[in-house]
């Protein structure tokens, strides 16, 4: 049979054909979603993506500055407003939002530490960036 018929002998497989398990495919899609969101937010050289439920961590660079990244998939939109959602997640001192297309960035603090928040509104992902000192 051919790959087009769904019976390929691929080592990666698909959910419908031999190869990796469905759980592995879910993880690959999640890592791809994180990598795509981080690229859309301007992060480069992203590595070490680790996913735990709705949260993830990674390392990368933005504007030639090494950063540690922590993020999460946001629940579906709607009330409450973004600032209320961020405050509920422990962020304070929320600065002015800068928008570029469907992404937003703003300065904030968490636990007294200054952070920059980036939100990929299309994918519903919130990313916190800390300089990697």
pLDDT exceeds 60 at position 10: no
Residue 47 domain-assigned (yes or no) = yes
Residue 11 domain-assigned (yes or no) = no
Residue 33 domain-assigned (yes or no) = yes
Predicted TM-score (pTM) of this structure = 0.69
pLDDT in tens, 108-117: 999 999 999 9
pLDDT exceeds 70 at position 83: yes
Cis peptide, bond prior to residue 91, ω within 30 of zero = no
CB distance 48 to 59 below 8 Å:
yes
Give the domain range for residue 122.
Answer: 19-131
Residue 12 domain-assigned (yes or no) = no
CB distance 19 to 11 below 8 Å:
yes
Residue 102 domain-assigned (yes or no) = yes
Could you give the percent of the chain with pLDDT greater than 70?
73
Residue 13 domain-assigned (yes or no) = no
Residue 4 domain-assigned (yes or no) = no
- Distance separating alpha carbons of residues 91 and 23, to the nearest angstrom: 33
Q: What angle do CA 7, 3, 16 make, to 5 degrees?
A: 40
Residue ranges of alpha helices (H) inside the chain are: 22-40, 82-88
Beta strands in the chain (DSSP E): 44-52, 55-62, 65-73, 91-92, 98-100, 103-110, 113-120, 125-131
Residue 24 domain-assigned (yes or no) = yes
Q: How many domains does the chain have?
A: 1
């Amino acid at each position: 049979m051919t790959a087009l018929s769904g019976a390929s002998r691929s080592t990666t497989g698909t959910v419908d054909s031999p190869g990796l398990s469905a759980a592995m495919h879910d993880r690959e899609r999640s890592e791809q979603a994180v990598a795509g969101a981080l690229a859309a937010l301007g992060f480069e050289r992203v590595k070490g993506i680790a996913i735990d439920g709705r949260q993830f961590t990674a390392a990368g660079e933005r504007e030639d500055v090494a950063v540690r990244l922590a993020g999460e998939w946001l629940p579906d939109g709607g009330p409450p407003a973004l600032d209320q959602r961020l405050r509920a997640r422990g962020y304070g001192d929320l600065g002015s939002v800068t928008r570029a297309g469907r992404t937003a960035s703003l300065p904030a603090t968490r636990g007294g530490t200054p952070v920059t928040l980036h939100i990929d509104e299309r994918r519903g992902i919130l990313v916190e960036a800390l300089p990697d000192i």
